[in-house]
Amino acid sequence: MLRFFIRMLGLLLLAGGFSALVVDGTRTIAGAALTVTTLREAIAQLLPQKLPALQEWVTQHFGAWAWDPATVLLLHLPVSATFGGLGAALILLSQKQRETIGYLLR
């Protein structure tokens, strides 16, 4: 049952990454310039009050070093690549291991 939920979450993330890729592609074609939506821009548009709260939480629990090089780097990644990569990783991790049939294990 847990494998089903992990796979379903992976498929939803993969679909979200694909839709973000389509939106970025449409904006790129319409604007005649490359447009990529980063995680920081997406969080700022969807939850404007949460970005400063996230920064405060990370610096309180992990220190200032965790915010500036690590989290800022993650927030500059494209939404499509992040969601697509996480979704693909969850789908791959939720697969059953194949048993070797017909081979001697020595």
**What's the pLDDT score for residue 11?**
96
In this prediction, residues 42-68 reach a mean pLDDT of: 89
Q: Residue 57: is its pLDDT beyond 80? A: yes
- State residue 68's pLDDT score: 84
Q: So what's the pLDDT on residue 104? A: 64
Read off the tokens for 84: 């697509």
What's the CA gap between 89 and 86, in Å, rounded?
A: 5
The whole model's pTM is what?
A: 0.79
Between 100 and 43, residue with greater pLDDT: 43
